[in-house]
Chain A
Amino acid sequence: MTDCPDIEHLRTCSRCRESYELYALLERSLEERRSERPAATATAAAVSRRLGLHRRRAMDAILSVPSITIFISLVIAAVFIVYRQHLALATSKLAGPVGDTLVELSNILPAALLKATGGVTWILVTVSVLVAVLIALAYHMTAMRYVHR
């Protein structure tokens, strides 16, 4: 295979060879500048952080899940309120030890407190709401840790 006239000329003409080499170096230098470009994912993450998109997503989660928890606790409380007589009876009959404990608890607690809280059933309602609030708080703290990470 014979070289094309241009390549042959480059071999013999130092000026053109120099010019060609400079052109090749220019091409290579231009292409090598790409390495200075940061990764798109890093920029996307930084922009997302600055816009607070991940915070917004976490806030959505914070707002939605506790809402569900509070809703469920309210439903439980409503059931207790409406059926408290039946539930108190069922608790004492079915959940013997628990019912006994509650009865003992009601005996220990001052009569004024029982009157103020509306009796053992109301204490159960209060406990269920407190548990729901604790669950919501625990979730909130976990989500906030994620936000600040």
Chain B
Amino acid sequence: MRAVSDSELVRKAIGGDERAFARIVGDHHGMVFSVVRAILGNRDDVEDTVQDIFIKVYRNLARFRGESKLSTWIYRIAHNESINAVKRVRNDHGPLDEAFGLGTDRGNPDRAHRIRKMRETLEQLMLELDEQYRVVLELRYMGEKSYIEITEIMDIPIGTVKTYIHRAKAALKAGLTARERSLEVKGRLS
């Protein structure tokens, strides 16, 4: 497929080319979803917020001057809209233990069960990370972006991206270790 520049895509989309806009959505969907998930967490309104962001992108396409990359411009909209979504809806995540099902887990989980539990735990631990760590981590894993791409999207140095990912993973690992230990203790006590 012929490489189309950001400006050309934007120009076509403004001119009513639905396919050009669908391509913009396709190219940046992973990034936008990652940012929304990083800021909102695993909530029901994530997909609605992603759609709201692309609607805002469409309505503001004429304001894109091409001074930054399109991904950076969309990232800023995604970030702002996600923050607004957080303000609009009360964060109603329950206490950590309740979400983990600590009261029902009797210990000695097999590997599949451990991974499933870990994913649930991970969602909660992610919410406890600093926002910039969450965003970088989601872009890396959920959005499948390279370090270079994250650098361009967030407009931060590559060293910072690496540091954020390292610190985020270290914090998650520490949280998971603490969680595993608490499960062990719980198993012994029961």
Contact = CB atoms under 8 A, between A and B. Distances in A.
A76 B176 CA distance: 80
Interface in A28-47: 28-34, 36-38, 40-41, 43-44, 46-47
Nearest to B140: A30
26 contacts: A19-B177, A22-B173, A22-B176, A22-B180, A25-B114, A26-B118, A26-B172, A26-B176, A29-B118, A29-B119, A30-B141, A32-B115, A32-B119, A33-B119, A33-B142, A34-B142, A37-B30, A40-B25, A44-B21, A44-B22, A44-B25, A47-B55, A48-B18, A53-B16, A53-B18, A56-B16
Interface string A1-37: 0000000000000000001001101101111111011
B-side interface size class: 20 to 34
Interface of B: 16, 18, 21-22, 25-26, 29-30, 33, 42, 47, 50-51, 54-55, 58, 114-115, 118-119, 122, 137, 141-142, 144, 169, 172-173, 176-177, 180
Nearest to A41: B26
Contacts of B137: 30
A38 B141 CA distance: 15
Interface string A109-125: 00000000000000000
B119 A43 contact: no
Given A37-B30, A37-B33, 15 more contacts: A23-B173, A25-B118, A25-B176, A29-B119, A30-B137, A34-B141, A41-B26, A43-B25, A43-B51, A44-B54, A46-B51, A47-B58, A48-B22, A51-B55, A53-B21
Contacts, number: 81
A44 B22 CA distance: 6
B12 to A, nearest CB: 13
A54 interface: yes
B55 A37 contact: no
Interface string A97-138: 000000000000000000000000000000000000000000
A25 to B, nearest CB: 6
Contact of A26 (B33, B55, B173): B173
A149 interface: no
